[in-house]
Amino acid sequence: MAPKDDNSTLTKLESACSDLKNLLQTSAKMEESLENMDRKFYTLQETLSTASRRVAPLQSLAIATKALDTRINRAASPAIALLDSFKVSESVQRKLLNLSNKLSDEKNPTKRLKKLIKFVDCVDQLDAAITSISQDGEPAIQKLQEVVEFLSRTKATDQYRTQRLRETLMTLKVLYENEVDAMRFDGLLDEALLNLQDEYEGILQQLKHQNISELQADAEAETMGSDLGTELEVEALRRISETLAANDCLDICIDIFVKVRYRRAAKALMRLNPTYLKTYTPEEIDEMEWENLETAITLWIQHFELAVKAVFVSEKKLCNQVLSGVMDGLIWAECFIKIADKIMAVFFRFGEGVVRSSKEPQKLFKLLDMFDSLEKLKTDFSEIFEGEAGAGICLRFRELEKLLIHAASKVFWEFGLQIEGTSDGFSPPRDGSVPKLVRYAINYLKYLSTENYSVPMAQVLRTEQIWKAGILSKPETDDNLLKDAISNIMEALQRNVESKKPRYRDKILPHIFTMNTYWYIYMRSRNSELGKITRRAMDEKEVQSGRRGIGLHVSETGVGASGESVGEGRCKEAEQGSHGSFGKGENGSFHEGFR
C-alpha cells in the first residue's frame, strides 16, 4: 500500500512541476510580448507626436481661413443686399412707368383716382428702395474696402480672389456715386414727384364750394360748411401730401394747397358780388350815399357770416383731412389760417372803415347790426380760428368789436348832445307844427327801443361802462342803462321844445306848438317800449297844459289861425304816422331835422 501511495504523490509533484514550467514559460512569453507592445506604443506615440507637430499649422490655417471667410462674408452680405436693392429699384421703376401710362389713358374719374393712389404707393416703394440704397451704400462699400485692404496687406488669400473683390468694390463705388443721386434728383422718382404735384393741384382745383349765393337768398337755410370732396379724393390728396412731404417737397405742397384753396374760397365769395369791399377808407365811405352805404353794410353782415360759417368751415375741414398726417399734424392749422387771412383782412378792413367814418346818427343802427352779428358769430368764430395760428385773426375780430362799441356809444351820446346843443340855434316852426327835429328824434328813439336794437344797444352801454369803471365794478342792468340813456335824451328833447316856446310873438302859437309837439310824441310812442320810457321823462300834464292854452284861445276867438281846430288837425297827423318805423324814408342826415 505504501509504495503505491508514494508513486501517486510523485506523479502529482511531477505534474505540478510541469505546470509551473509551462506557467513560467508563458509568463516569459507574455513579458516578451509586453515589451514588444511597449515598444510599439512608444513608436506610435512618436508617430502621433510627429503628426501633431505637422497638423498644428494646418489647424491654425483652418481657423484663420474660417475667420477670414467670416470677415469676407460680413463685408459681402451688405454689398449683396445693396445689389438686391438696385434690382428692386429697377423693378419698381418699370412698374411705375406702367402705372403712369395707365393713369394717362384713364378717363373715368373714380378709376383714375384709384390708379393714382396705386401710383402713389409705387412712388413710396421707389423712394424706400432709393433711401435704402442711400443709407446702406456707404457702409457696404466701406466694409468691402476694408476687406480688400486687409487681404492685400496680409496676402491671406490668393491674388485672383483679391482681384475679384477689388473689381467688385470698384463697380459698387461707381454705381453708388453715379446712380444714387441721379435716381433721386434726375431720374424717374423726380418725374413722378412732379407728376404728383400736378395731380395734387388738379384735384384741389376740382373741389368747389356749394353755391353760397343760394344760402344768402334763403334766409331760413342753416349756414354750415359742407364736405368739399369725396372720400376717394380726400384720400388721394392725403397720400400725395404725405409722399411729397417725405421727399423734401413740403414747401411746394403747402404752397400749392394754400394758393389753390385761397383762390377757390375767394372765387366762392366773389359769386356774391361784394363790390362794396373796394370802398374801405373812412373818407371814401363818407362820400357814399346813405342808401348805398346801408345796403353795403347789410351785405357785409351777410357775407361775413357766410365766409366764416360756410366757406371757412369747409376749408378748415379739408385742411385737417388732407394735411393732418404731415409733421404730426402741426402744419395744417397754419395752412388754413394762410387761406383765410387775406380774405378776412378785406372784411375787417371794410368794417373798420365804417367804424372810423363820420359818426352820423343814422349810422347807429347799422353799427348795432354789425355789432350784433359779430356777437352772434363770436362762438363759431373762436372755434374756427382756434389755437395759436388763429390768434391774429381772433385779435382783429375783437378789435373790430371794440371799435364798434366805441363808435355806437359815441354816436348815441353825440345824438343827445346835438339835441341839447340846438336849443338856441334854430327858430320854432312859424305855424306851431311839430319840428323836424322832434319827428326825427322820436322815430329814432322808437326804432332804437325795439327788441332788435335795444338788446345790442344795452350791451354796448354796459360794456362801455365796465371798461370805464373796471371789470370788478357792478354795472346796472342792461334795461336800466338803456332806459336811463333814452330818458336823458327825451329830457334834452323836452328842454329843446320848452326853449323854443318863448320865441313866438303870438300868444296862442306857443300853446299850439307845445300841444302838437307833445301830442305827436305821445301818439308816436304809445303802445311801444319808448312810450314807457317817455312817461318817465315827460308827464302828460305837458300835453294837458297845451290843450288848456288852446281852449282859452278858442273861447276868445272861436277858431285857430288856420280856420280850424289846430289841435284836431295835428292829432290826426300824429295818429296817422304813429305806427311807422325808423326806415330809409326817415333815415336821412340828422342835420336835416334842424331845418
Q: What is the pLDDT of residues 358-404, one digit of tens each?
A: 989 999 999 999 999 999 999 999 999 998 999 999 999 999 999 99
Other Cβ atoms within 10 Å of 336 Cβ, number:
26
pLDDT, residue 453, reads: 92
Does residue 8 belong to any structural domain of this protein? Answer: no
Tell me the C-alpha distance between 243 and 116, whole Å.
12
Q: Which three cell numbers stand for residue 414?
A: 353825440
Q: Could you give the angle at the alpha carbon of 91 between the alpha carbons of 86 and 96, nearest 5°?
A: 120
Domain presence at residue 489: yes
Q: Which of 335, 439, 327, 309 is nearest to 387 (CA)?
A: 335
Decide if 367 contacts 404 (C-beta within 8 A).
yes
Give the highest mean pLDDT range of 522-526, 538-542, 554-558: 522-526
Same-domain status, 317 and 446:
no
Residue 572, pLDDT above cutoff 50: no
Query: What's the pLDDT score for residue 568?
Result: 39
| 183-211 average pLDDT score | 87
All cell numbers assigned to 187: 431720374
Task: Give the model's pLDDT for residue 204.
Answer: 95
Tally of domains within the chain: 3
Q: Could you report the per-residue pLDDT of 431-445, keeping only the tens digit for each? A: 888 888 889 999 999
Mark whether 505 and 539 lie in a shared domain: yes
| 565 located within any domain | yes
pLDDT at 582 over 50: no
Q: What is the mean pLDDT of residues 576-580?
A: 39
Mean pLDDT of 252-270: 95
Residues 154 and 294 in one domain: no
246 in the same domain as 153: no
Is the predicted pLDDT of residue 165 greater than 60, yes or no?
Answer: yes
Give, to the nearest 10 degrees, the angle between helix 109-154 and helix 2-105: 130
Q: Within this chain, do residues 399 and 372 fall inside the same structural domain, yes or no?
A: yes
Same structural domain, 510 and 539: yes
**Residue whose C-alpha cell reads 376717394 in the numeric block:** 232
Same domain, residue pair 165 and 120: yes
Per-residue pLDDT tens digits for 401-423: 999 999 999 999 998 888 877 65
Q: Residue 576 above 60 pLDDT?
A: no
Question: Under 8 Å CB-to-CB from 338, ≥6 apart: which residues?
Answer: 258, 262
- Give 145's contacts (C-beta < 8 A, 6+ positions apart): 169
Among residues 209, 227, 236, 339, the alpha carbon closest in space to that of 331 is found at 339
What pLDDT is attached to residue 573?
45
245 and 336 together in one domain: yes
- H/E segment holding residue 565: none
Looking at residue 145, its pLDDT comes to 73
Average pLDDT over residues 561-570: 40
- Longest CA pairwise span in the chain (Å): 218
Least trusted range by pLDDT, from 160-164, 220-224, 448-452, 499-503: 220-224
Highest mean pLDDT among 169-183, 273-287, 495-509: 273-287
Residue 177 has pLDDT above 80, yes or no: no
Task: Pick the last residue of a domain from 135, 162, 186.
Answer: 186
pLDDT at residue number 315: 94
Mean pLDDT of 504-529: 84
pLDDT digits (tens, 9 = 90+) for 307-349: 999 999 999 999 999 999 898 888 999 999 999 999 999 999 9
What are the two backbone dihedrals, phi and then psi, of residue 510, each rounded to the nearest 5 degrees? -60, -35
Residues 175 and 227 in one domain: no
Q: Assess if residue 12 is contained within a domain.
A: no
Contact 335, 260 (CB under 8 A): no
| Residue 214: inside a domain | yes
Of 366, 390, 414, the position where a domain reaches its end is: 414
pLDDT bucket at 63, cuts 50 / 70 / 90: low
The whole-number pLDDT of residue 401 equals 96
Confidence bin at 556 (pLDDT 50/70/90): very low
What is the band of 221 on the pLDDT scale with cuts at 50, 70, 90? very low
pLDDT score, position 55: 66
4 located within any domain: no
Same domain, 295 and 313: yes
Evaluate if residue 539 carries a pLDDT over 60.
no
Cell of 299: 351785405
CA atoms of 114 and 120, how far apart (whole Å): 10
Q: How far is CA 457 from CA 17, 161, 244, 533, in A?
A: 154, 96, 53, 15
User: In 106-187, which residue ranges form alpha helices assigned H by DSSP?
Assistant: 109-154, 159-181
Render 217-239 in DSSP notation, one character per residue: H-TTS-------S-HHHHHHHHH
How confident is the model at residue 593, as a pLDDT?
43
Closest CA relative to residue 587, chosen from 488, 482, 452, 447: 447
At residue 402, the 3 state secondary structure works out as helix
Displacement of CA 95 from its chain's centroid (Å) = 37
User: What grid cell was written down for 109?
Assistant: 374719374
Tell whether 428 and 408 lie within a shared domain.
Answer: no
The predicted structure's pLDDT at residue 21: 85
pLDDT in tens, 96-153: 888 888 888 888 989 999 999 999 999 998 888 888 777 776 777 777 777 777 767 6
**Cα 328 from chain centre:** 14
Range of the domain at 48: 17-186
**Which phi and psi (to 5°) does residue 266 adopt?**
-65, -40
DSSP symbols for 489-556: HHHHHHHHHHHHGGG-SSSSHHHHHHHHHHHHHHHHHTTSHHHHHHHHHS-THHHHHHHHHHHHHHHH
Q: Return the higher-pLDDT residue of 561 and 526.
A: 526
Closest CA to 526 of 578, 454, 581, 574: 578
Pick from 344, 343, 324: nearest CA to 334: 324
Q: Is residue 500 part of a domain?
A: yes
Give the pLDDT score at 493: 86
Give the range with max mean pLDDT: 198-212, 369-383, 557-571.
369-383
Q: Measuring CA to CA, which residue among 400, 414, 395 is closest to residue 349? A: 400
Interacting residues of 297 by C-beta distance below 8 A, sequence separation 6+: 354, 366, 369, 370
Cα dihedral sign for 123, 124, 129, 132? positive
Report the length, in residues, of the chain: 595
The alpha carbons of the chain give a radius of gyration, in whole angstroms, of: 53
- pLDDT score recorded for residue 268: 92
The torsion of the CA quartet 16, 17, 18, 20, rounded to 10 degrees, works out to 90
User: In the chain, what percentage of residues exceed pLDDT 90?
Assistant: 36
Average pLDDT across the chain, whole number: 80
pLDDT number for residue 477: 62
Q: Is residue 97 packed enough to be buried (19+ CB in 10 Å), middle (13-18) or exposed (0-12)?
A: middle
Percent helix / strand / coil, the chain, rounded to 5: 80, 0, 20
- Predicted pLDDT of residue 81: 75
Looking at residue 398, which CATH number applies to its domain?
A: 1.20.1280.170
Q: Are 26 and 161 within one domain?
A: yes
Of 395, 414, 433, which one is at a domain's C-terminal end?
414
Asked which of 107-116, 160-169, 206-215, 330-339 is least confident by mean pLDDT, the reply is 160-169
- pLDDT score for 71: 65
Whole-angstrom distance, CA of residue 521 vs CA of residue 437: 12
Residue 5 included in any domain: no
Contact 135, 85 (CB under 8 A): no
In tens, the pLDDT along 4-34 reads: 667 788 888 888 888 888 888 888 888 888 8
Tens digits of per-residue pLDDT, 449-508?
Answer: 888 898 999 999 999 888 887 665 566 666 678 888 888 888 888 888 888 888 888 888
